[in-house]
Amino acid sequence: MGRVIRGQRKGAGSVFRAHVKHRKGAARLRAVDFAERHGDIKGIVPVEHPFGGGNHQHIGKPSTIRRDAPAGRKVGLIAARRTGRLRGTKTVQEKEN
């Protein structure tokens, strides 16, 4: 991260962001992307961001994906014929000897 003065954002808990104005030496010359500049967290789970909603956590879009999707996009239920819980009971037929 380099030499920086760190400050805590309001309501951020223990998540800190670097104050870009106060960066010293070589750290000042390092490229900072938009997410780091504005204190966003990278690599957050999809249930929480960007499609989740509060305490009722849900993905917010279908978790199914087509079979011809490119590698990296093919996550979740690949070419699912059906989704959801298996409901109902299964009847077992006994064999007659």
- Give the Cα separation of 67 and 14 in Å (integer): 41
Question: In total, how many domains does the chain have?
Answer: 1
61, part of any domain: yes
73, part of any domain: yes
Give tens-digit pLDDT for 60-91: 778 899 999 998 889 889 999 998 888 888 78
Site of tokens 């104005």: 21
Mean per-residue pLDDT over the chain, rounded:
70
77, part of any domain: yes
Give 91: exposed, middle or buried? Use CB within 10 Å, 0-12, 13-18, 19+: exposed
Range of the domain at 79: 50-83
CATH at residue 68: 4.10.950.10
User: Over 80: is that where the pLDDT of 28 sits?
Assistant: no
Q: Taking the C-alpha atoms of 91, 94, 95 and 96 in order, what is their torsion angle to the nearest 10 degrees?
A: -130
